A and B are shown apart, each in its own frame.
Chain A
């Protein structure tokens, strides 16, 4: 190592020969393939589709890939030069453009309860949106939603996108604790909490869906790209649902390929 000298940063960003995608090197052996700088359904769908494409066309140097909301992060074998990685990724991006566009093939229907004790901030959100609480519930349950990405906690989904009326920011003060299975909203998205957490997202519903249970056969429930619909259930129906991780909170999974 050379000591005490300010090394000018090498450019770690390269524009691909494609329209929107950018390759952003991260550390020594990771690169973000970024499909856009702002969240949209289209940008997210392209990132997820490229993640799938990469999975079925994995180069030898691929160690691990994972989709985030607007990117696919790729960890590569450090013995391969970055020039090679860039060139291979550019070719894969081009090949992917002409490949068949694949949509999510799984649909979950997840029971959610919006009774007051399970949705303490529903009225607040209704006020922000200028709607009645029932209209907020209807909007949430009638929107075809998708798992945009899994992250932060194991198996925990970011779900979206809700209509524009849901585009309100996070709170500046955190709620000290929402329970496991809580549905919380912000910025046209929902998070379904894997663990009891402090959060700046508003708690507007409750499920008994367990996203991750290490001892369960299917340890992780949801995958990025899965379609989701929430079905409103009464307090009585909700309380009757099984709480075991194996029952996925009464959710139904349908393969819709």
Chain B
């Protein structure tokens, strides 16, 4: 059975995203998919899904949504302001949305990119094996007010489910050498590692994001003579002005600017979700450490389902205890924190 989600109001950057498309690089189509793969998988796990996850990706701001059947939803990734009929709800915890009520998701309080997961996921036509919009590649469309999306009703979803730990905001992001790192001199690389960067949140897009910093740029000597070559999400390219620009899921496949380093995939979520006012630095990892980081990340994603637990609440914090849905998410008080 399917339900229908109606978008009443939409923030500037809402798209349907899944894990993206593999195998089209030779045809000039980048993988695309969710900017924050961890958040995409976390939401699916909270709703008890084991199939390929998808969600509405919301950069910076959400929108207003209605459903045609009682539906369990969760917002993962950025912590966003969420409410139904004026009652504030928590990000990262599953809640019930009833037909006739309006779910309002507004600005990100911390982080940048939120994911709205609903029941058993959205149903949309697959194009080249994926439902992801790849706007730069001409696939799919931005989700705007008035759009309706089908979703699969999933009897296994429960409210009040969450995952144990909030992801830690970090001040250090691990990178590895790119194929062009050697084109930068030692002094420039050293300065790159000593510089505090911030995300240029207003310009964060699915193709990439410029970084903010104080001081001079990071240009190479032969910047303009480099033949275009393959580029990947995570690559930190240095454009003509010397400003580093981090390429993300929907980047083009070939580029002519040199890449000073490339962010390890397991470190990319941290960068994408970094608060605008929070500075971070880059650090070159050894290949051994990078492998360990990737293995740990993959293992942590693989065990998400088994880590889902009930959200423990202090009854004092619940405004109207009787109205609270205690049927599907009974808090026993015995859960570990």
Say whether A and B bind each other.
Answer: yes
Contact A27:B293 (CB < 8 A) given known A67-B26, A68-B254: no
B283 at the interface (CB under 8 A from A): yes
Complex CA gap A155/B28 in Å reads 6
Are B287 and A26 in touch, CB under 8 angstroms? no
Are A30 and B253 in touch, CB under 8 angstroms? no
Are B286 and A10 in touch, CB under 8 angstroms? yes
Are A9 and B284 in touch, CB under 8 angstroms? yes
Complex CA gap A152/B293 in Å reads 30
B79 CB, nearest partner CB in chain A, Å? 25
Are A26 and B189 in touch, CB under 8 angstroms? no
Contact A28:B291 (CB < 8 A) given known A9-B181, A151-B28: yes
Contact A71:B294 (CB < 8 A) given known A1-B283, A28-B287, A65-B26: no
Chain B proximity mask over A61-104: 1 for CB below 8 Å, otherwise 0: 00011111111010000100010000000000000000000000
Complex CA gap A27/B230 in Å reads 12
Are B290 and A28 in touch, CB under 8 angstroms? yes
For residue A156, which residue of chain B has the nearest CB? B28
Which of B25, B182, B255 is the most central at the interface, judged by chain A CB atoms within 10 Å of its CB? B25
Contact A153:B227 (CB < 8 A) given known A1-B172, A9-B177, A26-B178: no
Are B189 and A214 in touch, CB under 8 angstroms? no
Per the 8 Å Cβ criterion, residues 210-226 of A in contact with B are: 212, 214-215, 219-220, 223-224
Q: Which residues of A contact B190 (CB under 8 A)?
A: 6
Q: Which residues of B contact A223 (CB under 8 A)?
A: 26-27
B252 at the interface (CB under 8 A from A): yes
Complex CA gap A32/B254 in Å reads 13
Q: Which residues of B contact A25 (CB under 8 A)?
A: 177, 179
Q: Which residues of B contact A71 (CB under 8 A)?
A: 229-230
Which residues of B pack against A, CB within 8 Å?
22-29, 127-128, 136-139, 172, 174, 176-179, 181-182, 189-190, 193, 227-230, 232, 234, 252-255, 262, 264-265, 283-287, 289-291, 293-294
Instruction: Provide a sorted-by-A list of 5 A–B residue pairs whose CB atoms are within 8 angstroms.
Output: A1-B283, A9-B177, A28-B264, A32-B229, A73-B230
Other CB < 8 Å A-B pairs besides A152-B28, A195-B138, A212-B28, 16 of them? A1-B289, A3-B172, A6-B190, A7-B284, A9-B181, A12-B177, A12-B179, A24-B179, A26-B178, A27-B178, A30-B230, A66-B26, A69-B227, A71-B230, A151-B252, A156-B28
